[in-house]
Amino acid sequence: MTKYIFITGGVMSGIGKGITSASIAKLFQFRNYKVNLIKIDPYLNIDPGTLNPIEHGEVFVTEEVWNFEPVPGWSFKISEIDQDFGTYERFLGKGMNMHPICNITSGQVYLSVLLKERYGEEYLGRTLQIIPHITDEIKARIRKVAEIFKPDILITEVGGTVGDIEGMPFLEALRQFKLEEMKENFALVHVTLVPNSLIGELKSKPTQHSVKKLLESGLQPDIIVGRSNIKLTIPIRKKISLYCNVPVEAVISNPDLKIIYELPLIFEKQGLGTYLVNLLRLPHRNSETEEWEKIIELYRNPRIILNIAMPGKYTSIVDSYVSINEALKHAGAYNHCGININWINTEKVEKDPSIMSDIMRNIDGILLTPGFGSRGVEGMIECAKFALHNDIPFLGICFGSQLLYIAYCRDILNKKTANTTEINPDTEFPVVDLLPEQKKIKQKGGTMRLGGHQIFLEKNTILYEAYKKEKIIERFRHRFHIIPKYIDNIKSSPKMIISAYDKNRRIVNAIELEGHPFCVGVQFHPEYKSRFDRPSPIYNLFIKKVLEYHKKKSILK
C-alpha cells in the first residue's frame, strides 16, 4: 500500500520546497524504498511551456510525452513541466525519469472537470462546484499516479504558499485525503522561512502565522522544516515546537548550502528519515549513504576553479538555466573542478560588440544558452563569433547551436544577412527555419518537437568522442532547425560539419567546427539527463576541454 507525504510551503515562495521534497525522497531511497513525486502547480496554465523563464524559471522536459486526454476528442501533448522535476531527477538518479502526468496544474484540473460537464456523461444533471468536483479531481489525479507507478512512498509537493487563493482547493483536497486514508498512510511536512534578524536572532513568528493559516484549512503539520541562512538553534526549534504543536524532534533545520546535494545527509543526521519511517509505520531498514557521501567529496574539494561564460537572454534569474547550471557542476566535480558561471547580458554586447575582448579576458569556456525571440540575439551571435576565431571551448545548446550556425554562415561563408526566420522571416539566407511540420501549426502550447528522440552520431567527431555510441536518446524542445544545404560541400576553412542527425537524416541534431579544440552545437538538451552521480557525456567532455584550455593559458602566462 502506498504511503503519502504532502509538502506545503509557508511565508514566501521560492524557499526550496523542491529540494526539500527531493531530499526527503532520497532518505527513502537510501533505505531501498521505491519513491515517486508529484508537483502541484496552482496556476491556470495547462503546463509551463508558454511561460517566460524570467517569470517562472526553467521549463523542464521529460523523456516521455504524455497525451493528456480529459475527455474523448480533446487531447494535449505534455512534456514541458515544472523545473522542480529536474531537481527530482538529479537527486534520485539515472533510474528515475519523471513522467509528465506527475505535474498537476490547476489548468489541467479545471479543464478536466469543465470538459467532462460538456461531454455529459460523468456530471450530467449536476451543479459543478469546487467541493466536491474540483477536489475529487485533484485526489483522483494523485491516486492515479500511485496506481500507475505503485511506489512505496508518493511525495506530493504543493506549489505556492499557504494562503494563496489559487491554492485553497488543493489544501482542501489534502484535508479530505487525510480523512480518507489511514492515519499511518499520511504525513504532512510544512516548509517555512525562519528569517535571521538584523541583530542575528532567528525569528519564529512568520512560521507561527504560516502554521496558523494551514490550521485554518484543517491541516496540522506533522513536521516543520525551517529554511534559514544558518542552522536552527535548539531554542528556536523548541519555540517552533511549542507554538506550532509539533514535537521538537519534528522541527528540522534546512540551512543555506553551497552544495544542495548535502541536504539529504543533513536531514539524515537530524533523524528525519527515521522519524518519517516511524510516523508512516514502515519497516526499519539500514540507511545506505556511503556512495552519496563519496560523491559529495568530489564537490567539496575542487582543485581548480573554471570560469564559464554564459551569454543569454534570461540572465536576470539564474533559475532560468538551472539544469545547465547543475550539469556544469556535475561535470566539474567529476573533473575535480569548481565552476564559476559568468552571466553575460547579451543586450549590452549587442549595443557595443567591442566589449567582448574585456568580457572574455578571464574566461575558460563559453556556453551559449537556449531561448526564444529577438531580444539580445545579435549579442549572442557576437559571442559565437568570438569562439569561431579563438581556441576557447564553446558549447551551444538548442537556440545557442542555431546561433553558432548563423555566426559561421555570416563570418566564414560571408553570408552577411544570414539569420533564422524566427528573427527575420524575410532573410535572404534562412539558414535556420521552422521544421516543415511546424509551419502548419498555429497553436503555441505543447506543439513543439518535444521529449526524447533517437540521435544518430557520426564517427570521428567530438560528439562521438563524448558518447562513444552511434545511437543515443536525448530530449528536445524546438520548432526551428538548422538548414544543412548552406554547409553541404563547404570548401571554406575552417569547415563546419554535421555530427548528428535523426534516423531519417532529415533533422540536424549537432554541428561542430573542424580543427577547433571544442566548438560544438547541439539541438538537444543534454542537461536534462545529467545527474549528480552521472554527468552528461557532452558536458563532461566540454569541461575536460575547458580544463585543458585553462591549463594552457596558465602556462602561457
Q: What is the pLDDT of residues 262-315, one digit of tens each?
A: 999 999 999 999 999 999 999 999 999 999 999 999 999 899 999 999 998 777
CA angle 178, 179, 183 (to 5 degrees): 65
What pLDDT is stored for residue 372 in this prediction? 83
The rounded Cα 340 to chain-centroid distance in angstroms is 19
Question: What is residue 557's predicted lDDT score, i.e. its pLDDT?
Answer: 61
- The predicted model gives 437-455 an average pLDDT of 92
pLDDT tens digits, one per residue of 203-226: 999 999 999 999 999 999 999 999
Catalytic residue, chosen from 102, 244, 398, 409, is 398
Q: How confident is the model at residue 320 (pLDDT cuts 50, 70, 90)?
A: confident
**pLDDT (mean) for 86-103:** 93
Rounded to the nearest 10 degrees, the angle between the axes of helix 399-411 and helix 377-388 is: 60
The pLDDT, as a whole number, for residue 52 is 83
What pLDDT, on a 0 to 100 scale, did the predictor assign at position 291?
A: 94
316 has pLDDT over 80: no
Residue with cell 531530499: 23
The pTM assigned to this predicted structure is 0.94
pLDDT at 387 over 80: yes
**174, 191, 245, 438 from 220: Cα distances, Å:** 11, 13, 8, 50
Average pLDDT, the chain: 94
Model pLDDT, residue 489: 66
Helix pair angle (106-119, 135-149), 10° resolution: 110
Q: Which three cell numbers stand for residue 9?
A: 510551503
Is 519 annotated in the active site? no
Q: Are 368 and 381 in contact (CB under 8 A)?
A: no
Q: Assess whether 527 carries a catalytic annotation.
A: yes
Residues 204 and 13: their CA atoms lie apart, in Å, by 17
Residue-wise pLDDT tens digits, 75-94: 999 999 999 999 999 999 87
Q: How confident is the model at residue 349 (pLDDT cuts 50, 70, 90)?
A: confident
Contact at 8 Å (CB) between 525 and 370? Answer: yes
Q: Which of 251-260, 308-317, 429-438 has the lowest mean pLDDT?
A: 308-317
398 is catalytic: yes
Neighbouring C-alpha atoms within 13 Å toward the C-beta of 453: 24
How many Å apart are CA 262 and CA 272, to the nearest integer?
14
pLDDT recorded at residue 350: 86
pLDDT computed for residue 83 by the predictor? 95
What is the average pLDDT across 321-339? 96
Q: Where are the beta strands (DSSP E) in 13-90?
A: 35-41, 59-71, 74-82
Instruction: Note whether 56 and 319 are within 8 A (CB).
Output: no
What is the predicted pLDDT for the residue at 55? 78
Task: Tell me: pLDDT of 113 over 70.
Answer: yes
- Percent of the chain with pLDDT strictly greater than 90: 83
For the chain, which domains are there?
Answer: 3-294 (3.40.50.300), 302-556 (3.40.50.880)
Instruction: Indicate if the pLDDT at residue 555 is higher than 90.
Output: no
**Phi and psi torsions of 40, nearest 5°:** -95, 125
Instruction: Give backbone dihedrals phi and psi of 224, rounded to 5 degrees, phi first.
Output: -120, 125
- Convert the pLDDT of each residue in 472-526 to its tens digit: 999 999 999 999 888 876 777 788 999 999 999 999 999 999 999 999 999 999 9
Q: What angle do CA 215, 218, 221 make, to 5 degrees?
A: 55
Catalytic residue among 80, 268, 378, 527: 527
Judged against a pLDDT cut of 80, whether residue 236 lies above it is answered with yes
Query: Quick check: 377 and 403 in contact, CB under 8 A?
Result: yes
What does each C-alpha distance from 24 to 392, 403, 528 come to in angstroms? 41, 40, 21
Nearest to 248 by CA among 275, 229, 266, 227: 275
Kindly state the average pLDDT of the residues 21-37: 97
